[in-house]
Amino acid sequence: MQQSSILLLFFFLMGIALIVFTYVYLSSKKADQGMTNPLKKRFWFFLILTVMMGIFASVTIPKSPYFAFADKTPAKVIHVAAMQFSFFLSENAIDPEKPSGQQIELPVDEVVEFRVTSLDVNHGFAIYDESNRLITQTQAMPGYVNRLRYQFDEPGKYNILCLEYCGMAHQVMRSSFTVK
């Protein structure tokens, strides 16, 4: 699970920082005036940092989600219109004047496309799996349609939550669909 590895990575980095800072602090407590300071080789420090940053960037940037499944023809399109404080999901285009939605069922192991827009303010469109993990998301912006492609590997019920603050009932703005 991506989130767990992120948390682990964070704790790891935090641990290193804590150890080094504590070590540096303690060293000053028992220092005497004549000691030499070995931290003069700054160049290497910066070089290592730059290289690590470069590697991290070049590994992660290709994993960006914008063009995921771009070369596939999706099995289904779902139109999504977000509106304070509900979602309309439909297999047909949604009329902004008379928005209406339907129960959605999606095929497992096939690419599907969500066309997400908003009829009023900015909203979020976040998909949570059965174990309640956030698996993917996009924003719903008025005037624009965002195309989110995804392939569900597990059948089950998926929840949709609004992840962009949209007003007083933001926390209850939700919907769901099933994957079979």
Binding site for Cu ion (CB under 5 A): 123, 162, 166, 173
Q: Provide the residue type at 36 as one letter.
A: T
Considering beta carbons, is residue 84 or 155 the nearer one to other proteins?
84
Q: Is residue 121 part of the contact set for other proteins (CB under 8 A)?
A: yes
Residue 84 is a binding residue for other proteins (CB under 8 A) = yes
104 binds other proteins (CB under 8 A): no
Query: For residues 35-64, which are near other proteins according to CB under 8 A?
Result: 35-39, 42, 45-46, 49, 53, 56-57, 60-61, 63-64
Where on the phi/psi map is residue 174: left (φ > 0), alpha (ψ -120 to 50), or beta? beta
Q: How far apart are CA 54 and CA 69, in angstroms?
A: 26
Smallest gap, in angstroms, from Cβ of residue 180 to other proteins? Answer: 18
- Counting contacts by CB under 8 A, is residue 159 touching other proteins? yes
CB of 130 to other proteins, least distance (A): 10
- Among residues 51, 75, 105, 109, which is the contact residue for other proteins, using CB under 8 A? 75
99 binds other proteins (CB under 8 A): no
The number of angstroms, rounded, from the C-alpha of 50 to the middle of its chain's C-alpha atoms is 26
Cβ neighbourhood burial of 34 (10 Å; 0-12, 13-18, 19+): exposed
CA dist 17 → 21, 24, 176 (Å): 6, 11, 42
